[in-house]
Chains A and B, each alone.
Chain A
């Protein structure tokens, strides 16, 4: 803090005494950069920041983003951009002469650490208060709000008059108000409290709590009327904030539950077909998921330049890969085990071992990197305390999409009809000239294919490694059984409710216990409803 303080100070000074010599100073300072290390770079940066030079912001930003390098050869400071063909395009900070592209080995990074970077951000924030982009200004004010000091507040006050954008103004006012708690009189504090009682900014709450704690140290008798008023206002404001927060926390948990649920759904739904419809206990289901994940990896390796679209290629690819492996398994093994569901368990278990070892041999036992496309990373900040991560959001949507697509397929398409027909009465279906063998193969392929798609999704959330499948197989079975075998809707409800239970329990019990409780609950539930949530009723069922 102190550091920032003096550095702002120097900066203001220098700003006043901006001379023609500024430019050279700046160049001189920049050229010192290569000679500094982590311990002694900060003062230099402060000096640079203090310069009144339009390149300052650029340089600082480059440093924060880790794009500022210097050439090993002549210690020239440059900022770099990666070019499609692997090496780097350089822009000299000083002078305009063009530089030819270089490989990384030719240059060295100007190193920083968290502390240095956050200091720089502090500086940038103050520079950015006048940035032309609104978003940048907003971010800047936010930065200051989170860790304010008299100078930055002063700056805000200065820019508040000229600020156009509503949001920025609002945030600036919040910042000012928060500042009141540090500097203002009791009346100002009280009014600030009233003004802020709807703000969800964490820093607001912290400021209020701090103030309240300060007041609570005195006995009521020692407090003046104003203090009392302030205290009451604070208590009220904090409560109302707490309420709002708890609401958002509930929504948050719900979303977490659903997103976990949709992961379970994706993992289980393929099984709901192979196991639910065909009655095959497919222990290799997890490995089908794994294959899907590895397919994503391969796709990304094949088209490194299209990471953002890789998933759209990976989804059909994974479906085909896992699907065809599934068909192979069905043709090669499972069809010889008709009417022996428990034997399928054993055979497919053997297959799962083989598949795992196979990927170990091909891809090595190490996890594989699957990059997240831009549009799937980051989160959607709905308000200061509630945000939804994009990948989870898309996954929920995607899972439901897959589910309903499948549902439509089973209900509408003639193939789906055949599948259900064979599932219910093989002989009769055959009599009606349904080629049950073909249908079996396709059904199994379909189930496996969907597992593959699940793999694509999981590759965005967790390890892509040989054990990926194992960690989901048990959950998948539980979901299907809980929902009621042979009932897709059941699978949906089961997945979502299990997910939500888990997520609402977790904050109370911790994740381990939450898992256990859910499992035990499940076992008990099945004792009550031996055929799951949505059993097939009637005499046919027995």
Chain B
């Protein structure tokens, strides 16, 4: 019967519909209120708010990616900023090419910063950057490839724990220095900016902003669904098992390194998408995004939201980013105290983060219940 099936649905998908629902409603609300209502009206949502939320959602997706590897697989990556930034640069390069001859030097072929470094032609790695499809490909392939190379090296030689974290940090640090170099052909410290339009739609029109915002929300929803599916599949259980006792997993015949690389790559790609959505909305990508401090901040979102809980990660990202925006505005001189204090307090008082606030005993009970239901469901499947 219908109600029964709905119940099953909930058992099956847990927090998924809730999160997706919230996202949908927010998007609807924001877009309607931004487009339908005029400046004056009380219901109006300013474009500023739209871009702000858009940014937050990108961060949320990023947090999701971090949580997938840290919360579920126990890989603490201090280098996810690199994947985020690479995705961003892929998008940035595309947008840069879309400027065409509307740059200040009016050169149809080269972006301004190349003209100014008097480069004759595009460097090879910019080839194809004017194609939307290629951009999409690069957004995924860039971070994915880096993650695959780094991951398969590190995990195969069983670099783990703190060592891994420091190495990921070194990775993103090296990339930052590299992208700062003007010879690299990515605009050096100024990065890529002054974008005009995407697929012919002006980036400055409210509609485009709303669409971008909605897309970000969509990607977040999809990302959430994907992660949700992964962690609830048997594979997800293997990954959790790896987190708890890697050697055991090995001795029952799994290859943890493969699983780790796989999950690392998936996570990197998610981060890449987040970066790609981030750039058109904030309007600039520069090497600062690679800075190790950013990557640490991402980890902190997850820690605050609650590692090992997907919606927790999202909450964490939203809360911290919002706090930052508010604090920098209200108490410019003192906001670092507040932020720092927040980090300390949360780690001390809510070790499981906001999502894990409920006492762990209750947690276990819930867990057991959930599994029971799952098993029952399985039983049902078997019978049918």
Contacts and interface: CB of A to CB of B under 8 A. Distances in A.
A–B contact, 8 Å CB criterion (strictly below): yes
A520 B173 CA distance: 10
Interface in B217-272: none
B336 interface: yes
Contacts of B66: none
B163 A357 contact: no
Interface string A184-203: 00000000000000000000
Contacts, number: 118
B81 to A, nearest CB: 13
Contact of A526 (B159, B340, B347): B159
A346 B340 CA distance: 10
A502 B346 CA distance: 40
Contacts of B341: 350, 354
A361 interface: yes
A248 B131 CA distance: 55
A411 B233 CA distance: 51
Contact of B299 (A346, A474, A478): A346
Nearest to A529: B157
Contacts of B157: 527-528, 530
Contacts of A434: none
Interface in A467-501: 470, 474, 477-478, 481, 485
B173 A474 contact: yes
Interface stretch (A229-237, A300-308, A509-517): A509-517
A340 B343 contact: no
Contact of B343 (A347, A356, A477, A481): A347
Interface stretch (B25-33, B90-98, B176-184, B366-374): B176-184
Nearest to A355: B340
Contacts of A333: 344, 347-348
Nearest to B156: A527
B52 interface: no
Nearest to A512: B181
Given A516-B174, A519-B174, A526-B163, A346 B343 contact: yes
A350 B343 contact: yes
A275 B292 CA distance: 18
B20 interface: no
Contacts of A361: 333
Contact of B181 (A343, A346, A513, A530): A513
Contacts of A477: 166, 169
Interface centre among B158, B333, B336 (most CB of A within 10 A): B336
Given A356-B336, A357-B334, A523-B171, A351 B344 contact: yes
B208 interface: no
Interface centre among B161, B174, B292 (most CB of A within 10 A): B174
Interface in B112-147: none
B177 A519 contact: yes
Contacts of A530: 157-160, 163
Contacts of B340: 349-354, 357
A485 to B, nearest CB: 7
Interface string B176-206: 0110110000000000000000000000000
A34 interface: no
Given A342-B165, A343-B347, A361-B333, A523 B174 contact: yes
Give chain A's interface secondary structure class.
helix
B180 A512 contact: yes
A512 B184 CA distance: 12
A478 B166 CA distance: 7
A356 to B, nearest CB: 7
B36 interface: no
Contacts of A345: 76, 165, 296, 299
A337 interface: yes
B348 A347 contact: yes
Contacts of A357: 334, 336-337, 340
B344 A519 contact: no
B177 A354 contact: no
B303 interface: yes
B69 interface: no
Contacts of B299: 345-346
Contacts of B343: 346-347, 349-350, 353
Nearest 9 A/B pairs, CB to CB: A350-B343, A353-B340, A357-B336, A354-B340, A519-B174, A350-B344, A350-B340, A347-B347, A530-B159
11 contacts: A349-B343, A350-B339, A354-B336, A357-B336, A361-B333, A516-B177, A519-B173, A520-B174, A523-B170, A524-B153, A527-B159
Interface of A: 275, 279, 281, 283, 333, 336-337, 340-343, 345-347, 349-354, 356-358, 361, 470, 474, 477-478, 481, 485, 512-513, 515-516, 519-520, 522-524, 526-528, 530-532
Interface of B: 76, 150, 153-154, 157-163, 165-167, 169-171, 173-174, 177-178, 180-181, 292-293, 296, 299-300, 303, 333-334, 336-337, 339-344, 346-348, 351
Given A342-B76, A349-B300, A520-B174, 20 more contacts: A281-B162, A283-B296, A333-B344, A333-B347, A343-B303, A343-B351, A345-B165, A345-B296, A346-B346, A346-B347, A347-B347, A350-B340, A353-B337, A354-B336, A361-B333, A474-B169, A523-B167, A523-B170, A526-B159, A527-B157
